[in-house]
Amino acid sequence: QSALTQPASVSGSPGQSITISCTKTSSDIGDFNYVSWYQQHPGKAPKLMIYDVSNRPSGVSNRFSGSKSANTASLTISGLQAEDEADYYCSSYASGTTFFGAGTKVTVL
């Protein structure tokens, strides 16, 4: 049982916006102040998309945004594009330990 719960799949049509949720289910994560999101295409290494809940690394499209409310963090992809089809993992950090969610498969219809 993962300490972070994500939906198994989310889908949307090109141009639409989708949101992936990530809910903290374990007290091991503490205050849930550190949340990041990774994109992974098949056969590729994960790529950092969001860190510290809502910050984008240099080079990541501004179509990707992150937020958090209480025990649920969210990744929103606006203006969905075919290249966004991938697996997305949320991650959190607490007391030296990194936690990953089970991942969400995003399908572009």
> Applying CB under 8 A, which residues contact another protein?
2, 34-36, 38, 45-48, 51-52, 57, 89, 91-93, 96-103
Residue whose pair of structure tokens reads 């998309």 in the numeric block: 49
Which lies closer to another protein via its Cβ, residue 15 or residue 57? Answer: 57
Measured CA to CA in angstroms, residue 69 lies from 9, 35, 43, 77 at distances of: 21, 12, 33, 17
Tokens representing 60 are: 């990541």
Residue 15 C-beta: closest distance to another protein, Å: 29
Tokens representing 70 are: 């209480």
Residue 81 C-beta: closest distance to another protein, Å: 23
Residue 17's SS3 state is coil
Residue 106 C-beta: closest distance to another protein, Å: 14
Which lies closer to another protein via its Cβ, residue 52 or residue 83? Answer: 52
Calpha distance 27→80 (Å, rounded): 34
By DSSP bridging, strand 86-94 and strand 97-100 are: antiparallel
Which lies closer to another protein via its Cβ, residue 14 or residue 28? Answer: 28
Which lies closer to another protein via its Cβ, residue 32 or residue 84? Answer: 32
